[in-house]
Chain A
Amino acid sequence: MTASSATPSATPSATTTAAPGGRAAPAAVRVAGGTWADDLRAMRMVWKRELIRFFRNRTRIVTSLVQPILFLFVLGTGLSSITRGLPSGVNFKTFMFPGILCMAVLFTAIFSAVSIVWDREFGFMREMLVAPVRRSSIVVGKTLGGATVAAFQGAVMLALAGLVHVPYSLPLMATLVVELLLVAIALTAFGTMLASRMEQVESFQVVMQFFVLPMFFLSGALFPLSGLPVWLRVLTRLDPLTYGVDPMRRAVFNHLGLPRATVAKLAPGVTWGGWRVPTLLELGIVVAMGASMLAVAIWQFSKVE
């Protein structure tokens, strides 16, 4: 440093003054703050950090796609041989595809939530929590960051649509991307809520095991939701992910050009006591779930330290 030309600010509250012809005096920072603009700025940065970290970690991008790909192509192909009886020659992989999209989103979203626990364990959470911004902006930024990453992984899987006979039609792709995004936000909010009070990665993993696979299996990702025994029907209707998978399956099947009867059989939709829940309501449920879990997460974080 060129110490000689540095002009130490003598006034107690430093003001930005460039020393004439020399090095600038300590740049000052205003005292005021706490505006919405500040919170938005913080939120954007927290969101951006999630993206930086994700795209820097190539291994994670690849490995988190391994499981959905295994399910789709290995399990899907294997089961195709015993599911040849599907109407109109619909391939089982085509049937599974919307569920697998949700799976990719689910796993990535939950993994993003683990990073909250990591941040706490490695101290970075503290850097965020002591910042002079609303806690909610941190929580929302973190959740949207995780959701963006999860939706990105879903979109990568979506690119494989052609391999399982799903047409690349623009309206279908656009619909699926929007639905993926909503599901991603809701699932990341769920993860954030679970992670909000967790101190150790190990305990978080246990809780995740408890939720992730049951949520996936009960969502109807692998089987149609009609003609199930009562206990299973009830459980599937309680799974929030069900209301994410079904709209996507409906979207896919409506673009396959299949006879009505086939669509009705393979994508029967979610029914409540015989009443078929409309797509918009399903998505509304996803959004409401996400919003309320996010609210709980924010409330939990506001209590920490």
Chain B
Amino acid sequence: MPAPPPADQPVVAPQEPQAGAVVAIEVEGLQKRYGDFYAVKGVSFAVPEGETFGFLGPNGAGKSTTINMLCTLVDPTAGTGRVAGFDIVSHRAQVRRNIGLVFQDPTLDEYLTAEENLRFHAELYGVPKDVVGERLRQVMEMVGLWDRRKSLVRTYSGGMKRRLEIGRGLLHSPRVLFLDEPTVGLDPQTRSSIWGYINELKRQENITIFLTTHYMDEAEYCDRIAIMNEGEIVVLDTPEALKASVGKDRVQIQTADDGAAILALKDRFGLDSAVREGQVMFSVVGGEQFVPRLFAELGVPIRSVSVARPSLDDVFMAYTGTTIRDAESSNTDRMRTNPFVRARR
């Protein structure tokens, strides 16, 4: 069971969906154990229909295991889950018919054309014959690949393949689309274009999206985020609320004399600061309101000021006491020593 969060951190219970909203995903005490290794230590949450819900956390935090349980690919050790109203253990086929899956690793047949890949999917998911053609065109246009439908998938770029997989995941009009690290391994430009497509399809299809990512900036696209670390949900809220809960804004100033500025910040405001990348940086509550005081009282000429709201990086740091990168390397060690996890890779 998840340990209670430390007292100095806000306790965020899994949120109940808003009244009247239809629940797309409902999870209670979901747990997965391999031997004596707990990949997921009992998580509970609910996702209302139409929401984009993100699992954020380092590699090895248990995100993929959770997604695999929700997709009926892995049996939970304990706990229950319902997706699109169907139990993930007793009604697998119904769950699968109602979800779209885009995995971390590609699952396309590269020696078939894009269209053939999609037709294969349509047949296996029982898409009614009279709508296959129309639906195929819809999703291929949505992901911008209609003109390339006759090309072998092996001639596609990485971003195109990922788009095709997203399109394929939508082909059978699922009610929930699972995206496991949808942009991993893609260059930044392709990543943002993938996000453009995801937002567009959400607008068109009114679909619930459940995604995992370990890119902090991508979590911002979500309506709500659960931060996962070491098999537990550390916190669950909207990106704005999470950032607000961290409280402090990050202020960066350029001054005529950085040394004097650092001393003055300590003396007059009691703030710790440091020089990073040629700028004096510090954190303060209500950064925008602080700026006028700063100009009035610092006593050192200021050339420029920038105030940044806390990023999800800061949030992750605040709730786990570690950066996502450090957590990743320690998780790798944690898994490396566990034979069960290693055997599955």
Chain A residues near B (Cβ < 8 Å): 1, 3, 6, 8-10, 12-14, 16, 24, 26-31, 33-34, 38, 41-42, 44-46, 49, 52-53, 56-57, 119, 122-124, 126-128, 130-133, 305
Contact = CB atoms under 8 A, between A and B. Distances in A.
Contact of B173 (A28, A46, A52): A28
Contacts of B93: 33-34, 132-133
Given A6-B204, A29-B174, A130-B96, 8 more contacts: A27-B135, A29-B172, A33-B93, A49-B120, A122-B106, A123-B103, A123-B108, A131-B96
A56 B111 contact: yes
A126 B112 contact: no
A12 B22 contact: yes
B126 A29 contact: yes
Given A27-B173, A49-B112, A124-B107, A12 B49 contact: yes
Interface string B200-230: 1001111000000000000000000000000
Q: Which 9 A-B pairs have the closest CB atoms?
A: A45-B123, A131-B124, A132-B96, A123-B107, A27-B135, A27-B131, A127-B107, A132-B97, A29-B173
A234 B142 CA distance: 64
A58 B127 CA distance: 32
Interface string B90-117: 0011101110010101111111100010
B138 interface: yes
B241 interface: no
Contacts of B124: 41-42, 45-46, 127-128, 131-133
Interface residues of B, number: 46
| A-side interface mostly | loop
Given A9-B205, A127-B107, A24 B125 contact: no
Interface of B: 22, 49, 71, 73-74, 92-94, 96-98, 101, 103, 105-112, 116, 119-121, 123-128, 131, 134-135, 138, 141-142, 172-175, 200, 203-206
A29 B123 contact: no
A34 to B, nearest CB: 5
Nearest to A38: B126
Contacts of A123: 103, 105-108
Given A8-B206, A123-B107, A24 B134 contact: yes
Contacts of A38: 126
A131 B73 contact: no
Contacts of B107: 123-124, 126-127
Contacts of B108: 123-124, 127
A10 B22 CA distance: 12
Nearest to B103: A126
A305 B92 CA distance: 13
A45 B120 contact: yes
21 contacts: A1-B141, A8-B205, A16-B131, A24-B138, A28-B173, A29-B128, A29-B172, A31-B94, A31-B97, A41-B124, A42-B123, A119-B109, A123-B106, A124-B107, A124-B109, A126-B107, A127-B124, A130-B71, A130-B73, A130-B96, A132-B96
Contact of A52 (B105, B116, B123, B126): B116
